[in-house]
Chain A
Amino acid sequence: MSAPAEKTVRKVPTYCYQCVAGPDLLTVKVVDGVATEVEPNFTAAEVTPSAGKVCVKAFGLVQKMYNPNRILTPMKRTNPKKGVDQDPGFVPISWDEALDAIAERLKTVQARGANDESGYPRIAASFGGGGTPTYYMGTLPAFLASIGPIDFGFGSGQGVKCYHSEHLYGELWHRAFTVAPDTPNTEFMLSFGYNVEASGGVCGVKRHADARARGAKRVQIEPHLSVTGACSAEWVPIRPKTDAAFMFGLLHVMLHEQRNRLDIPFLKHRTTSPYLVAPNGFFLRDPATRKPLVYDLSGQRAVPFDTPGIDPALEGSFKVSGLEIGADDDVWEHRLEKVQPAFQKLIDHTAEYTPLWAGRICDVPHKVIRRLALEFLDHARVGETVEVEGRELPYRPVSIALGKTVNNGWGGFDCCWARTLMACLVGALEVPGGTLGTTVRLNRPATDRNLSVKAHPDGFMDYPMNPTDKAGWLAKPDVRNANRTLIPLVANSPWSQALGPTHLAWMQQQKAPEHWPQATPPDIWFVYRTNPAISFWDTRQITEVMARFPFTVCFAMTADETNHFADILLPDATDLEGLQLIRVGGTKFIEQFWDYQGFALRQPVAEAQGDARDFTWIATELARRSGVLDKYVKAVNRGAAGVPLKGENYDFSLADDEPPSVEQVWDATCRAASAEITDGAEDQGLDWYREHGFRLAPFPRLKWYLYAAIEDAGLRFELPYQERLMRIGKQLGRRLHEHGISWWDEQLEEYDPLPEYKNYPEMWEKALERNFNVDIRDYPFWAVTARSMQYAWGGNAGIQMIREVAENIGGHGGVVINSGKAAELGLADGDLVEIRSPLNATRGRVVTRQGIRPDTLLMIGQFEHWATPFAKDLELPSLNKLVPMLLDLTDSTGSGSDLARVSISRVEKAP
């Protein structure tokens, strides 16, 4: 192990947060000032859920740093024409020239007003990777805060690449921006395309490997046999986009064949199942208090839901009186009207969804659906409890996880609802062994989802809906994707704009929908750590739009397909070159459940290459040159860089009359972090963190389970009946119609109190036929995609080592097709094929596998680069190019799906 005597060897602690499943801690071995090896951080083995390890992506960081294709000086465009076929003519310039050009533009733009003539912010910014760029951009958030408002609504994949429906409904129902099994305690998992072994990061992989080792069973339901399917006990090859039918079939078995095995006390007292539903579909309410009524079996009368000592009915019909309050405070008074509990409505609603019905839709034997429902119940352990840190909680070791496409676009609502409801039926929501939320991004505070449990008068959790009442509705969108106007559930947190409907921002640049003004392009567009020209849908249309943006600033690693349209390129210090302190621990997606929380430092392991600059230096200089230095520093002091610099017992605030150095910013941040974590008792600075890498304090495991907070607040989960959603949907419909807008009517139909299954595959087929005037029979395959652990979120398609190791995993070589189907079509491995959708075509090499449905093609990851060095020579196909942006295929949350109907034809035989 000893290095030659003349070599200087250091091990530098830092973190990797390339993907949403991070952060993970690591060390980098540095020999004679050159980063050579990535290693686990062994000192963190006992205190991190990843055991101090990082996944394969982190090993690409050394090549990322020394990549000879890096852009290492600021550049400016010399060709005023923008287009895929235009050479940008980038030429090197000094940092002074680059920053002054940006600052001048900012000042000019701001002098004309923050918003343009259409009312949209003149400045826009797009960041990728589910929030991960924040952990690399130093104090840029403080700069953005000081020049705002910013339009963050131009998406780079959000809505179709994320767990979109889950984000919104998950936060509504159980403060779950994403949802995860309580993997360390669960016994039985139903996974509908949840590809945790590819996208769950180190924590996800480790937790599930441990679960398998102790005998937990996972059933993977998806059209192709993914790496997660490979690691599951059973694979059920379901027809694409029919998952909702499968889940409805499961619900039918539980509700109609096994009702006596459900968790009745949980349903009665921790859900809204007993709430009485009045004739117009809204809850029946007590005229005096306006509280929803339940029917008390012991008193034989209707009483407000929170009446102590009652035994509320779940089933039956009752003649009772009360008020019904609808949209916009419409009121009906009912006298001895026949009403039913929401649970009875649910039973009636699911009567037709038999396993036989579901099996035919899903192309899955109905016996499999029934068996899995029974296995789920067998493992549910209804009635059992377990002690967590001295508190007794229900123990329900069954869980359900949803993957992308399952919970995106049409059908996503059904799937999220059915999944959460199944957990409720056996009392397995937010309890040990069950289905859990990870974190909040729409509710507040963001640091602790337990603290976001606040009471709504109707007895469940409140939610920060965007208003749909006459007084509060935002009739004129304030950003180009109109999220607050169209999507009540997306709320109005700093994350909301990026949740979209982000494709609407792009679509509106081409053609505004009826009754809305033509959307303007932003005067300035900042882009960091994202490449929407590759990662969004309908990438051709995206590139056409970005070519029209007048001034684009890209923080650039290498040339890529988005910065091809830039006016200025700025080379920022990369992952191993920059300095930043971030929060770690607690609970977070995808399966980061820690017993600690605290802070970790990212630090330069070696000298930055070329003239790449630390992001904090860039942000400070931009602020200074734009004349907003005082606002910028004040924002840093408030905590825009992650930690408020002033607390009750400490004050490390920076002076706002001169630009702080990078080290000053992060030294103050480190001191504030130390003070925060010790209630002001300690104030270790940057040097301490450079040496130790991280600092943690215990995080109570009880906080993993929201049930405790719900129980403490005396609240219920808002399931099964979606009275509140129905109300806001009706109100939204009225508002839109009052303004003459009818192009959102199909989305309005989704505000069902109990979702009805729609023929989702047919919905896709009809939309494509309608919009492209094609016969869908000419496109006989479903094309789907899947994440790759080696690539997902990494922005690393240009990293040679990542490509090399990814090729060991089947499917990374091109278009995956069922072996039997390929033989039938005369296709062989290595044949070059064209995959054509009604929108566009892509090319790739045939990869035959047994583990995929004969009606499905798979294209892993996001490729077909044409500008990124190395990646552009890979000859890999892209599903993104084939998926259209259509309102018809946009659901009420503003989400679409990674799904296309395609044909396949050979271009040339394998060499």
Chain B
Amino acid sequence: MTRYVMVADLERCVGCQTCTAACKHTNATAPGVQWRRVLDMEVGEYPDVRRAFVPVGCMHCADPPCMHVCPTTATGQRADGLVTIDYDICIGCSYCAVACPYQARYKVDRPAQAYAEGRMRNETNREDPGRQGVAQKCTFCIERIDYGQAHGLTPGIDPEATPACVNACIASALQFGDIEDPESNVSQLLATHKHFRMHEELGTEPGFYYLWEDQ
């Protein structure tokens, strides 16, 4: 069995948003849509205050609330853990966006246009009408994973098979891999660091782990 997960090392993340930008490039998301983004959080009161940067996005939950509420079965789940959306089936009802505890879903009704003065060539070049009016979210760069598997590459290790946000992360804070493989990069990180998942109490079993210190 394989289950792909993302690991974010909070000791490494600097909140630079390079992953956010790389995701926007790779997935041609519209202005305001951030399948991957990094939160800037403060804890405590002056002067005893800490600040942390927390990458978020679709958690590719093992028990995804978004899938359960989908009336059309557009949201599905693959054997390798990836939560998917079939844009052809999705009716854009947004139940999933409401159900997602991680605010990871978006819906865009119009073609991307960053500037009021006109659409740019890169925007028209990458226009995907199939993604308008339907739910969208982080796919873990599913095309890269599938490409990698088809070509004997290892997701999370070989760049061509690895999500763009992980490839771009300048602090090596984001890692990706198969948690079912005890030798994988992510399994090794989880074995050697304290970690948590977001809103674990909800029982969604997110496929996104946060490291926060060595064990």
Contacts and interface: CB of A to CB of B under 8 A. Distances in A.
A805 B20 contact: yes
Contacts of B26: 37
B170 A55 contact: yes
Interface stretch (A58-66, A350-358, A384-392): A58-66
A680 interface: no
B170 A231 contact: no
A853 B21 CA distance: 32
Contacts of B164: 39
Interface stretch (A28-36, A133-141, A533-541, A687-695): A28-36
A213 B147 contact: no
A595 B38 CA distance: 32
A870 interface: yes
Interface string A853-892: 1100000000000000110000000000000000000000
A590 interface: no
A818 to B, nearest CB: 6
Nearest to A24: B170
Interface in B16-48: 16-18, 20-22, 24-26, 28, 31-32, 34, 37-40, 42, 44-47
B52 interface: yes
Contacts of B181: none
B131 to A, nearest CB: 15
A801 B24 contact: yes
Contact of B122 (A66, A800, A806, A850): A66
Interface in B85-132: 114-115, 117-123, 125-126
Interface stretch (B7-15, B60-68, B70-78): B7-15
Contacts of A209: 11-12, 14, 171-173
B17 A40 contact: no
Contacts of A229: 51
B126 to A, nearest CB: 6
B167 interface: yes
A1 B144 contact: yes
Interface in A10-46: 31-32, 34-40, 42
Contacts of B126: 31, 36
A869 B114 CA distance: 12
Contacts of A66: 120-123
A213 B172 CA distance: 11
A237 B47 contact: yes
Given A36-B122, A800-B114, A801-B31, A213 B12 contact: yes
Interface string A85-111: 000000000000000000000000000
A62 to B, nearest CB: 5
Nearest to B164: A39
A574 to B, nearest CB: 13
Contacts of B160: 1
Nearest to A230: B51
Contacts of A68: 115, 117-120
A819 B121 contact: no
Contacts of A67: 115, 120
A63 B28 CA distance: 12
Contact of B172 (A62, A206, A810): A206
Contacts of A54: 18, 170
B159 interface: yes
B143 interface: yes
B53 interface: yes
B202 to A, nearest CB: 24
A790 B18 CA distance: 9
Contact of B40 (A205, A810, A818): A810
Given A34-B121, A231-B14, A40 B51 contact: no
A69 B15 CA distance: 29
Contacts of B47: 235, 237
Main secondary structure of the interface of A (DSSP, over half): mixed
Interface string A646-662: 00000000000000000
A851 B42 contact: yes
Main secondary structure of the interface of B (DSSP, over half): mixed
Interface in B143-195: 143-144, 147-148, 159-160, 164, 167-173
A465 interface: no
Contacts of A819: 45-46
Contact of B159 (A31, A34, A40): A40
Interface residues of A, number: 63
B79 interface: no
A850 B16 contact: no
Nearest to B148: A1
B21 A59 contact: yes
Nearest to B14: A197
B73 to A, nearest CB: 27
Nearest to B10: A231
Contact of A31 (B15, B38, B125, B147): B125
B49 interface: yes
A805 B121 CA distance: 21
Contacts of A850: 42, 44-46, 49
B171 A206 contact: yes
A808 B122 contact: no
A35 B28 CA distance: 12
Interface string A798-810: 0011001110111
Nearest to A609: B121
Contacts of B168: 39-40, 53
A54 B169 CA distance: 9
B35 to A, nearest CB: 12
A311 B152 CA distance: 67
Interface in A803-856: 804-806, 808-810, 818-820, 849-854
Given A1-B160, A800-B114, A804-B32, A202 B170 contact: yes
A800 B115 contact: yes
Interface string A591-624: 0000000000000000000000000000000000
B45 A820 contact: yes
A230 B15 contact: yes
A819 B169 CA distance: 32
Contacts of B9: 213
B147 to A, nearest CB: 3
Interface string A772-810: 000000000000000001100000000011001110111
B171 A36 contact: no
Contacts of B147: 1-2
B12 A37 contact: no
Interface centre among B14, B39, B117, B118 (most CB of A within 10 A): B14
A63 B51 contact: no
Contacts of B31: 800-801, 804
A56 B21 contact: yes
Given A209-B172, A805-B21, A809-B15, A851 B122 contact: no
A225 interface: yes
Contacts of B148: 1
A35 B171 contact: no
Contacts of B114: 63, 800-801
B21 A801 contact: yes
A38 B16 contact: no
Interface centre among A31, A68, A227 (most CB of B within 10 A): A68
A212 interface: yes
B75 to A, nearest CB: 24
Given A213-B11, A227-B53, 8 more contacts: A213-B12, A790-B17, A804-B31, A805-B37, A808-B38, A851-B46, A851-B49, A852-B46
16 contacts: A37-B26, A51-B170, A51-B172, A59-B22, A66-B123, A68-B117, A197-B15, A206-B171, A209-B171, A210-B172, A213-B9, A213-B11, A227-B16, A230-B50, A231-B11, A808-B17
Interface of A: 1-2, 31-32, 34-40, 42, 50-51, 53-56, 59-60, 62-63, 66-69, 197, 202, 205-206, 209-210, 212-213, 215, 225, 227, 229-231, 235, 237, 789-790, 800-801, 804-806, 808-810, 818-820, 849-854, 869-870
- 6 interchain residue pairs of minimum CB distance: A1-B147, A59-B21, A230-B51, A66-B120, A800-B114, A209-B171
